[in-house]
Amino acid sequence: MLLAIDVGNTHTVCGVWDGNSWCAIWRRSTNISTTEDELIVWLKGMFDLSNIPWEINGAICGSVVPQVDGLWDKLCQRWLGVKLKFLKHGAAVGLQVDYDPPHAVGADRIANALGALERFQPPIIVVDFGTATTFDSIDRDGHYAGGAILPGVQLSSRALFDKAAKLPQVEFVAPERALGRNTVESLQSGIMLGYAGAIDALACRINEEMGGNSVVIATGGLGGLFIGICSSIQRYEPTLTLEGLVIANERLGD
């Protein structure tokens, strides 16, 4: 079985791939002070709780937090007895990156492009809802064409709550109407409907710049919140980044 590790700024997502489907997917906080011993206790516990055999014969990692790369590398060598592969650049996995410079594109965005190209015909726009909300664009030739980076909905909302003492924190739920009749509804309107409007505006502009007819896909932990309120999003693929890592593992070889 393959262990796929998607290390983000806020969360790390681990998936166990048996060659045909995901046996399990788990999420934990990304913590640069964690040791490999602490990580393996958590990982082994998740295997046991999910009744998955402790049989890992490969591991692939896409990380945007370099400080923890060594921890996962040591874990795989010491406790799993496998070499951890790292997805670093598009060129290594057969993806042309038209970005300046090409190596500035994060591993998660490369994985998103690989996963999207496996499922859909380009042009494609992937909207990844995480700490930041990123737009990854794949043109008609299957090249990574660029994108956009927006502060994530949780991050931007937290800044608002921290700076406005009288505003309560609210649940990330879209209100029934844009016209809020109380403070909670007003906040939910601004946060959810306003953010959805920003997503739609950017997706529309990027689509036009790529010649139109783009498939727009959402992924990331918060992506499901915006299905139904973002008119531009056609599909929600929560495992897209992990699927891209599986493809990267195959292309990187031994």
Residues serving a catalytic function are 108
C-alpha dihedral sign at 89, 93, 99, 100: positive
Q: What are phi and psi of 223, to 5 degrees?
A: -60, -35
Backbone dihedral angles phi then psi of residue 56, each to the nearest 5 degrees: -110, 125
- Pairwise CA distance, residues 7 & 160, whole Å: 26
Distances in Å between the alpha carbon of 93 and those of 132, 186, 244? 24, 46, 10
Cα(197)–Cα(1) distance, integer angstroms = 41
β-strand 22-29 against 124-129: which pairing, if any? unpaired
Nearest-angstrom CA–CA distance, 215 and 94: 21
Helix (H, G, I), strand (E, B) or coil at 118: helix
Alpha-carbon span 187 to 167, nearest angstrom: 8
- Rounded distance between C-alpha atoms, residue 105 and residue 194, angstroms: 27
* Alpha carbon distance 220, 177 (integer Å): 26
Cβ within 8 Å of residue 3, ≥6 positions away: 14, 15, 16, 17, 56, 58, 59, 60, 76, 80, 82
Burial class (CB in 10 A: 0-12, 13-18, 19+), 48: exposed
Which residues are paired to 85 by β-bridges? Answer: 60
